Structure 1
Amino acid sequence: MSNVSPQIFKATNLAAGSLASFSALSQLSYLLTDFPAFLKAIFALGLAIPIVYLEFKVPPNLYRFASFYFSFIGRGLCLILLSLLLSYGGALKIIISLLLFVAGIAFTVVEFIPSIQEPDNFRPEGSSIAVGEDADDII
């Protein structure tokens, strides 16, 4: 098994989601000066808030509609997209975007390391831990 603590993934998700949310909220102030940046901020908020929310509670239907939140590669690509949406503005926003980009690359790479097990909140409700597990044989 893996020696990576699930708390590391939880802390990374909370930090990335919080930074993206705060950056998107600050970008909402561009409503009158730069409307495309304002629209990007709205999309970024829509992608960042579930990242934080999923660390506390998993909604039952979210896996059906947004299954990319439940895999390392999906979460990594989401963070990379967030970094691109929020890379507009001053130096602090560029640093936040760079941190989100690095976290997205790290999550994407972790997907291809078989010894690292996914956290509990990455599994949809009622699914088994292993692929080949014979928990309930249905005939």
Structure 2
Amino acid sequence: MDLEEVRGQDFSPVFKIVNLVIGILSTLSGVSQLLSGVQSFLLGLFIIAGGISIGFLEFKVAPQFYNYCSFFYSFIGRGIFYIFLGVLISHENILRICVGIVIIIIGIGYSILEFLPSIEPPENMQGENGLLSGVDAEDVI
């Protein structure tokens, strides 16, 4: 398939499904870490917060989120966050290691998508050009 053929296609549903799956998998992985000790408990809370944030952004785009977590609004930002989340998840048992590796691979894929101009980010990842078009530009740092 040529990259020019991809230019006009809308991949928003695919990105939404992938992001929701990552949100669910990371939240479940975080919950599974809560009872493994104090350090794992705190790490699990962070992973749960990341998973819930990923899932939340698929349904509602909050201007405050764009102000403080603007990396969620680019492929490379999400890709690096997914890689980081996957590394945090992948330890202790084989199921979490497999989930972490899948999230890392998807993060690498997202990072590569940043450099392919023929793939447009979905509307909820376009920040000020997408769903946040009504937000005053001076409010965004």
TM-score normalized by structure 2? Answer: 0.83
- CA deviations 1:33-89 (Å, max 9, x no partner) are x32222211111222211001111111211000001111011111111111111122
Name the counterpart of 1:16.
22
Name the counterpart of 1:126.
133
C-alpha root-mean-square deviation of aligned residues, in Å?
1.3
SS in 1 for 2:85: helix
Match of 1:101 among 89, 94, 104: 104
Name the counterpart of 2:139.
none
Give the structure with higher Rg (CA).
1
Percent identical: 36
Distance 1:115 1:7 in 2: 17
TM-aligned CA deviation for residue 3 of structure 1: 2.7
Match of 1:86 among 75, 86, 89: 89
CA contact (8 A) 1:68 1:74 kept: yes
TM-score normalized by structure 1? Answer: 0.84
The aligned length equals 124
- CA deviations 1:68-118 (Å, max 9, x no partner) are 111101111111111111112211111100100001000000011010001
Give the unaligned 5+ runs of structure 2: 1-6, 135-141
- After TM superposition, what 4+ stretches of structure 1 lie above 6 angstroms from structure 2? none
Distance 2:64 2:10 in 1: 28
Give the unaligned 5+ runs of structure 1: 128-139
Name the counterpart of 2:35.
29
Name the counterpart of 2:47.
44
TM-aligned CA deviation for residue 119 of structure 1: 0.4
Distance 1:2 1:84 in 2: 34
Q: Higher helix proportion, which one?
A: 2
Higher alpha-carbon deviation: 6-15 or 34-43:
34-43
2:74 counterpart of 1:71: yes
